[in-house]
Chain A
Amino acid sequence: MAILQGTLDLLILRTLLFGSHHGQGIAHAIRRQSEEVLLVDHGSLYPALQRLEEKGWLLAEWGTSENNRKARFYTLTKAGRKQLTEETSAWRRLVAAVGRVLEPEGA
């Protein structure tokens, strides 16, 4: 399933909550944690990372992966953490609202 427009940022931020990751790791984590439902289009992953970095929510550094590969690691900044909290609650409200529309109480 393709990722809903606008939710990719949220998923990236969430994935980075417990530690830094490189791009492939983020994509993989999203796929795994969604139990193979959400497939990240790499064409949008990197522009998204770039965007988040420019907004100051992520910090990027070149480092070395577990396989001893050179990779660019992304870490959540303080602003990013705050953004995540906001976006998460916004998302919850949205889901709840959509849910109410789809299955009205008493119907």
Chain B
Amino acid sequence: MWKRRRSTQDFSEEIRAHLAIEADRLRQEGRSEEETTFAARRAVGNLTAMEERFHEANHWCWLDQLRQDVRGCLRQWRKRPLMAVVALLTIALGTGLNVAIFRVVWSALLKPLPYADAAELVQVWGVEQADGGMSPADRRTPNGLTVQLWRSRSRSFQMLASYRPWRATVGSGGDPERVPAALVSAEFLPVLGAHAVLGRLFATEEVHPGTDDVVVLSYGYWKMRFGGDRDLIGNSILVDSKQCQVIGVLAADFRDLVTSGIRPPSVYLPISKVAKGPLKVFSGRVIGRLGNGVGIETARSELETLARQADVETEVNGKPRGVKITRIEDEVGYSVRPALLAMFAGAICLLLIACTNVANLLLAQAIGRRHELAIRAAVGAGRMRLVRQLLTEALVLSFGGVLLGLGAAWALCRSMVALYPGTLPRMAEGGATGAVLLFAVTLATLSATFFGVLPALLATSRTGDASLRAGRGGTLPSAGRWREALIGLQVATTATLLIGAGLLVKSFTTLRSVDLGFEPDHLFTAQVALPESRYSTEEDLTRFARLWVESLKRIPGARSAAVTNTLPLAFNLLTDVQFDVSGQAGKHRAGGRAVMGDYFEALGLRMKEGRALTAADDGRRDVVVVNESFVRSYLKSIPPLGAVLRFGPRPATVVGVVCDIHTLGLRRPALPEIYMPCVALPSPLVDVVVRSAVAPAEITAGARAELRQLDPGLALAQVSTMDRIVDGEFSQPRFQAVLLGLFAAVAVVLATVGVYGIVAQGVRARTQEFGVRLALGATAPNVFWLVVKQGLRAPLIGLAIGLVAALLTGRVLQTLLFGVTPRDPLVFASAAVLLAVVCLSSCGLPAQQACRTNVAQALRDE
């Protein structure tokens, strides 16, 4: 409904009628003709202003004014193209980076999960202490028996499901391949709301030893490997050397973000395949869907109570275990969260610093334009109108910058995802555009507010007459304060960012200096998994290992070869081995590493004492080598060489002590380990290592050929080189350190420019003052130090604030740091000194100019 609006003309007519009537009245009172018109006019006031007000109240004139302001703004830019370009690029840099990182953060951490009622989905963990340790290292997979009890007795959950990330070998004959897989209980797929597009999902009785030779395929794998063959349902395929019936194919839109955030499983198998013991208990990670309106804490305490009951019923002694429940929403992207948030924080700091520079630029410009603005005010522009004009300019600037930045952001984001070591979850899903654009608009508006409001208010403040008289180049006392505040803020932010980057760099170098304990170059690595169906006895496993090492040695270019159950840095726990030390009381546990072939020689392990295990020891069960940590933990009181360890009834003599290696990653301390010949500890998982005279990649083809000859049903998986594995340990910290280092470098440059700009402006505005000072006998050093002292005040205060802020906020980096505390004095001191020097030098140049003030010139201008 649109009411017909009055035209301005109609309004003017009314006003004119008013004037006429007023004049009539005055005339009746007996005034002269000239007097009446004038008096009537005076009584009515500013006619044009009145009409304008009517017009403004009735029309969308802000649109007109916006157009005017934008045009005016573009005119300003044309006059000062350099300033416009610098400001635009600064904003583009700051916002582009933020938008790019936000896109990653949104996809990996914030985007709603593709599950119905995702808030009900939770992950259940066991924790060592009842009071619930929060660190990821404390979270355990809950005990299988306990989970069984939970499933039957818990009332807090609609469903509880178990799963295990897995790798399965699919197919046989010429082309078996290892694919990402998941072992799941029957509830797992329904909990996530998955549907089968063909066939069905697992029935409860299928997740049971004996009836569990069934498999569900992911849509993508079904399409890729089986060409979308609809007749596959009901037929069998070979999975882990067992004929398994394909019972279903998952819907194309199902996303499994739980079993692995990185490569989704291609096949799902019943988790009963790993069931153990007479009770056929399987253990795995646990997820669940909470009942309607059940809180996490309620569910947690219920499960904890049930877990205690289970401990009592099964007569398990020991520390009471706790339960921890986290939302799936928080679990997806859990591992990348600290790094991403650190990057995001860095980018926001950078934007703040960039905006400060733009604010300074605009402030200088606005002050330069005070004369113009005063004239505008004098001819009738209201203050709001002027403020709006200046704000519009800021908005145009920021939206222009963001638009530029947005273009860069897409490219930046793509390269960031590509360069990111490891995989960022959910990047390929898309659906980020809306959120990213909204973020960009918000960013533009906030930036414009940040750098636009202050100059607008200061430049239009009510000292109009003064600035009319003062002419061009007038200064504004209150502007100085604000500028100092801006500079302080900028230096403070820079300091925080610099310290963050410094901590990461130091952490990286510390990690780099960790002793690997072996020689990673020229090492070919791979893995073979032996299916239980064909390699069931210890003899089978040992025979395969022996034959396999012999075949590997035959590969051209191979110098020495060995197999083991777990290679260094493979992130697999070693086999738990129970033992006691002869002559000492008490049983202990340590990691058992089974080796076959010249393992020590191949890896280049260094011996501390005694001798290494060699191929000659392959058949012996009575010799072991232990590592330094083992000696520290268990053989402190006796000479390690010749010590006898008892594994059940079987004794073995320690023949050597080897240097520690970091099995669980360089960030984790080395654990006590026992190296023993393969016969003493057969394993169905076989890690391969070959030291080669040629490039390790050239070994691959030979290894595949040898394996096919040995057993065509096996697949060579996780082919890599040790150099690459070791580099994988450094890649994350390196990426973080380099990225934040770059941010910090840009920040320092921006801050330098900022401080320099402000001090130089101040010096220019005070030329006359310096002229007078020099004329009255001040020496050049006097003036120099005057400028430096005043110029440094704000940056130094900012620096102090920045250091304090870094002290307070450093803890957010904690999880990313290795061997460095968030309050590392060296990093703080270096950052402080660096920034102080930078600020000093950016004050020095303008100060020198101040000394060189031409006295005669300055006084003549007075």
Which A residues are closer than 8 A to B by beta carbons?
22-25, 28, 41-43, 46-47, 50, 54, 65, 67, 69-72
Contacts of A72 in B (CB 8 A): 13-14, 17
Mask, B636-660, CB within 8 Å of A = 1, is: 0000000000000000000000000
B18 in the interface (beta carbon within 8 A): yes
Q: Is the CB of A46 within 8 A of B17?
A: no
Stretch at the interface among B39-47, B336-344, B671-679, B715-723: B39-47
Contacts of A54 in B (CB 8 A): 3
User: CB < 8 Å: which of A41, A43, A65 contacts B21?
Assistant: A65
Contacts of A23 in B (CB 8 A): 14, 17-18
Report the Cα distance A28→B45, complex, angstroms: 15
Which B residues are closer than 8 A to A by beta carbons?
3, 6, 11, 13-15, 17-18, 20-22, 24-25, 43-46, 49-50, 53-54, 57-58
Contacts of B15 in A (CB 8 A): 46
User: CB < 8 Å: which of A24, A41, A47, A67 contacts B18?
Assistant: A24
Q: Which residue of B lies closest to A23 (CB)?
A: B18
User: CB < 8 Å: which of B21, B43, B45, B46 contacts A22?
Assistant: B21
With known contacts A46-B11, A46-B50, A47-B54, A69–B45 Cβ distance under 8 A:
no
Instruction: Tell me the smallest distance from the CB of A34 to a CB of chain B, in Å.
Output: 16
Instruction: Tell me the smallest distance from the CB of A1 to a CB of chain B, in Å.
Output: 16
Q: Which residue of A lies closest to B21 (CB)?
A: A24
Q: Is the CB of A42 within 8 A of B14?
A: no
Report the Cα distance A102→B46, complex, angstroms: 37
Q: Which residue of B lies closest to A56 (CB)?
A: B3
Report the Cα distance A70→B12, complex, angstroms: 13
Q: Is the CB of B3 within 8 A of A43?
A: no
Instruction: Tell me the smallest distance from the CB of A59 to a CB of chain B, in Å.
Output: 13
Q: Which residue of A lies closest to B5 (CB)?
A: A54
**16 extra A-B contacts, CB within 8 A, seeds A42-B44, A43-B53:** A24-B17, A28-B25, A41-B45, A43-B49, A46-B14, A47-B53, A47-B54, A50-B11, A50-B58, A67-B24, A69-B17, A69-B20, A70-B13, A70-B17, A71-B14, A72-B13
A-B contact pairs, 24 of them (CB 8 A): A23-B14, A23-B18, A24-B17, A24-B25, A42-B43, A42-B50, A43-B45, A43-B50, A43-B53, A46-B11, A46-B50, A46-B54, A47-B53, A47-B57, A50-B6, A50-B11, A50-B54, A50-B57, A50-B58, A65-B17, A69-B24, A70-B13, A70-B17, A72-B17
Contacts of B6 in A (CB 8 A): 50
Q: Which residue of B lies closest to A28 (CB)?
A: B25
Instruction: Tell me the smallest distance from the CB of A71 to a CB of chain B, in Å.
Output: 4
* Residue from B14, B22, B43 whose CB has the most chain A CB atoms within 10 Å: B14
Report the Cα distance A42→B58, complex, angstroms: 18
Contacts of A41 in B (CB 8 A): 45
Report the Cα distance A65→B378, complex, angstroms: 39
Report the Cα distance A25→B45, complex, angstroms: 17
With known contacts A42-B44, A42-B45, A24–B50 Cβ distance under 8 A:
no
Q: Is the CB of A22 within 8 A of B53?
A: no
Contacts of B11 in A (CB 8 A): 46, 50
Report the Cα distance A70→B13, complex, angstroms: 9
Report the Cα distance A63→B25, complex, angstroms: 18
Contacts of B46 in A (CB 8 A): 43
Contacts of B25 in A (CB 8 A): 24, 28
Q: Is the CB of B21 within 8 A of A71?
A: yes
Q: Is the CB of B50 within 8 A of A71?
A: no
Contacts of A50 in B (CB 8 A): 6, 11, 54, 57-58
Q: Which residue of A lies closest to B51 (CB)?
A: A46
Contacts of B43 in A (CB 8 A): 42
Contacts of A46 in B (CB 8 A): 11, 14-15, 50, 54
Q: Is the CB of A22 within 8 A of B3?
A: no
Instruction: Tell me the smallest distance from the CB of A75 to a CB of chain B, in Å.
Output: 15
Contacts of B20 in A (CB 8 A): 69
Q: Which residue of A lies closest to B28 (CB)?
A: A67
Q: Is the CB of A69 within 8 A of B44?
A: no
Q: Which residue of A lies closest to B16 (CB)?
A: A70
Instruction: Tell me the smallest distance from the CB of A78 to a CB of chain B, in Å.
Output: 18
Contacts of B44 in A (CB 8 A): 42
Report the Cα distance A70→B16, complex, angstroms: 10
Q: Which residue of B lies closest to A53 (CB)?
A: B6
Q: Is the CB of A22 within 8 A of B17?
A: yes
Report the Cα distance A25→B43, complex, angstroms: 13
Report the Cα distance A28→B21, complex, angstroms: 11
Q: Is the CB of A67 within 8 A of B21?
A: yes
Shortest 6 CB-CB distances between A and B: which pairs?
A24-B21, A71-B17, A72-B14, A24-B18, A42-B44, A67-B24
Contacts of A65 in B (CB 8 A): 17, 21
Report the Cα distance A72→B58, complex, angstroms: 18
* Residue from B6, B15, B21, B57 whose CB has the most chain A CB atoms within 10 Å: B21
Q: Which residue of B lies closest to A41 (CB)?
A: B45
Report the Cα distance A65→B57, complex, angstroms: 27
Instruction: Tell me the smallest distance from the CB of A54 to a CB of chain B, in Å.
Output: 7
Report the Cα distance A46→B11, complex, angstroms: 9
Report the Cα distance A71→B22, complex, angstroms: 12
Report the Cα distance A67→B25, complex, angstroms: 9
Report the Cα distance A65→B20, complex, angstroms: 11
Report the Cα distance A81→B254, complex, angstroms: 66
Q: Is the CB of B21 within 8 A of A25?
A: yes
Contacts of B14 in A (CB 8 A): 23, 46, 71-72
Contacts of B50 in A (CB 8 A): 42-43, 46
Q: Which residue of A lies closest to B56 (CB)?
A: A47
Contacts of A67 in B (CB 8 A): 21, 24
Instruction: Tell me the smallest distance from the CB of B273 to a CB of chain A, in Å.
Output: 77
Q: Which residue of A lies closest to B53 (CB)?
A: A47
Contacts of B18 in A (CB 8 A): 22-24, 42, 71
Contacts of B13 in A (CB 8 A): 70, 72
Report the Cα distance A14→B15, complex, angstroms: 22
Q: Is the CB of A24 within 8 A of B57?
A: no
Report the Cα distance A22→B24, complex, angstroms: 14
Contacts of A69 in B (CB 8 A): 17, 20-21, 24
Contacts of A71 in B (CB 8 A): 14, 17-18, 21
Contacts of B45 in A (CB 8 A): 41-43
Instruction: Tell me the smallest distance from the CB of B53 to a CB of chain A, in Å.
Output: 6
Instruction: Tell me the smallest distance from the CB of A9 to a CB of chain B, in Å.
Output: 15
Report the Cα distance A42→B19, complex, angstroms: 11
Contacts of B57 in A (CB 8 A): 47, 50
Instruction: Tell me the smallest distance from the CB of B347 to a CB of chain A, in Å.
Output: 48
Report the Cα distance A50→B17, complex, angstroms: 16
Contacts of A24 in B (CB 8 A): 17-18, 21-22, 25
* Residue from B3, B13, B17, B54 whose CB has the most chain A CB atoms within 10 Å: B17
Q: Which residue of A lies closest to B44 (CB)?
A: A42
Report the Cα distance A65→B17, complex, angstroms: 10
Report the Cα distance A72→B54, complex, angstroms: 16
Q: Which residue of A lies closest to B49 (CB)?
A: A43
Contacts of A43 in B (CB 8 A): 45-46, 49-50, 53
Contacts of A25 in B (CB 8 A): 21
Report the Cα distance A47→B15, complex, angstroms: 11
Instruction: Tell me the smallest distance from the CB of B562 to a CB of chain A, in Å.
Output: 91
Contacts of B49 in A (CB 8 A): 43
Q: Which residue of A lies closest to B24 (CB)?
A: A67
Report the Cα distance A42→B11, complex, angstroms: 13
Report the Cα distance A50→B56, complex, angstroms: 13
Contacts of B58 in A (CB 8 A): 50
Report the Cα distance A70→B19, complex, angstroms: 11
Instruction: Tell me the smallest distance from the CB of A30 to a CB of chain B, in Å.
Output: 13
Q: Which residue of B lies closest to A25 (CB)?
A: B21
Report the Cα distance A34→B6, complex, angstroms: 31
Report the Cα distance A71→B17, complex, angstroms: 6
Instruction: Tell me the smallest distance from the CB of A62 to a CB of chain B, in Å.
Output: 8
Report the Cα distance A24→B634, complex, angstroms: 107
Instruction: Tell me the smallest distance from the CB of A19 to a CB of chain B, in Å.
Output: 16
Report the Cα distance A23→B14, complex, angstroms: 8
Report the Cα distance A70→B17, complex, angstroms: 6
Report the Cα distance A87→B816, complex, angstroms: 66
